Amino acid sequence: MISKSLFVLTKYHTDLYNDDFLLLLKVLETVTPKVKVDSRLPAIDSRANFALFLVDAAYSSCSELLNEEIIDLAKSNHVALYNAMPTKVHEQTALLANIKGIIYKKDEPENTFKGVRRILSGELWFCRKTMSKTLSELVQQVPNFVKTPQTDLVSLNVLTAREKSVISLLAKGAKNEDIANTLNISCHTVKTHIYSAFRKTKSRNRIELANWAQRFMPAASIVTR
C-alpha cells in the first residue's frame, strides 16, 4: 500500500451511494485505505498529500473536463480520469494535457485496480495505439520546436481573436460542431478558422495545433469569446 492518500473529484450531482461508485471506492481502498471524496479540489498547499487525483469524467468531453484548474493540477500532480465514456473523451487530447491515464466506466474492477497501480508507479494508462500515434505525431513536429520564441510570438500576434478562441476550444478536445455551438458560428466558419490557424502557426494537423497552443498561447489568451 502507498503512504499518501487518493483524491476522488466527483461531480456535484454524483450519487455517492451508487453501486458502481461504491465498487470504485472498494477497489481504491485495496490500494490505500486513505481515500478522500469531494466535489471540490483541496487547497493548493495540501495537494502534495495526495498521490493521485481521479477526476469524474462521466458524460463529459475533454473540452468540458480539461478546464484551466484541471490542466494546472496535472502540471504538478498525478491526475487520471475515471468513469469515462469512449464516445466522449479524446485520449490524445488528455495525454497531451499531461493526464496520466483514463479509466472507463465499462472497465472491470481488475482493470481499474491495475490502471491505478500502474499510474502510481509512474506509468501511463492509455491504449498502446493512442500512445504510439501521439508519440509519432510529436516526433514529426520536432523541427517545428526549433523555431525561435520570436517566430512564435509573430505567429501568435497574427492570429485573430476568433482564431484564438477556436484554437483554445480545439486544444481542449472540442470537435468542430462543439466549437460552432460554443461560438455561435457555422461549422464551415470553424473549418475556415482552423485552416487559417494551420497556415499561420505552420501546423499540419489538429494535434500539432493543440500542442502549439499549449506551448505558445498565454493562459490569458486561451479563453472562449
Residues 28-60 have pLDDT tens digits of 999 999 999 999 999 999 999 999 999 999 988
DSSP designation for 138: H
Whether 215 and 162 share a structural domain: yes
Whether 115 and 164 share a structural domain: no
For residue 67, the model assigns a pLDDT of 87
133 domain residue, yes or no = no
Domain end: 126, 153, 174, which one? Answer: 126
Number of domains in the chain: 2
pLDDT of 149 > 70? The answer is no
Domain end: 99, 126, 153, which one? Answer: 126
For residue 148, the model assigns a pLDDT of 46
Whether 16 and 112 share a structural domain: yes
Per-range mean pLDDT, top range of 4-13, 88-97, 170-179? 4-13
CATH number, domain containing residue 38: 3.40.50.2300
> Cell 481515500 sits at which residue?
35
Whether 90 and 35 share a structural domain: yes
Whether 162 and 217 share a structural domain: yes
Q: Give the Å distances, CA to CA, from 198 to 133, 211, 221.
A: 20, 12, 17
CATH number, domain containing residue 208: 1.10.10.10
* SS3 at position 60: coil
Compute the mean pLDDT over every residue in the chain, rounded to the nearest whole number: 86
Whether 71 and 113 share a structural domain: yes
Whether 155 and 177 share a structural domain: yes
Whether 106 and 174 share a structural domain: no
> Cell 465514456 sits at which residue?
85
Cell numbers for 187, please give them. Answer: 461549422
For residue 136, the model assigns a pLDDT of 75
**What is the C-alpha to C-alpha distance for residues 156 and 218, in angstroms, rounded to an integer?**
9
Whether 29 and 86 share a structural domain: yes
Domain end: 75, 102, 126, which one? Answer: 126
Host domain of residue 159 = 140-221
Whether 74 and 145 share a structural domain: no
Whether 61 and 144 share a structural domain: no
From 98, 64, 108, 104, select the one nearest 81 (Cα to Cα): 104
pLDDT above 70 as % of the chain = 88
* Distance in angstroms between the alpha carbons of the first and the last residue of the chain: 46
Average pLDDT of the segment spanning 137-142: 64
Whether 82 and 190 share a structural domain: no
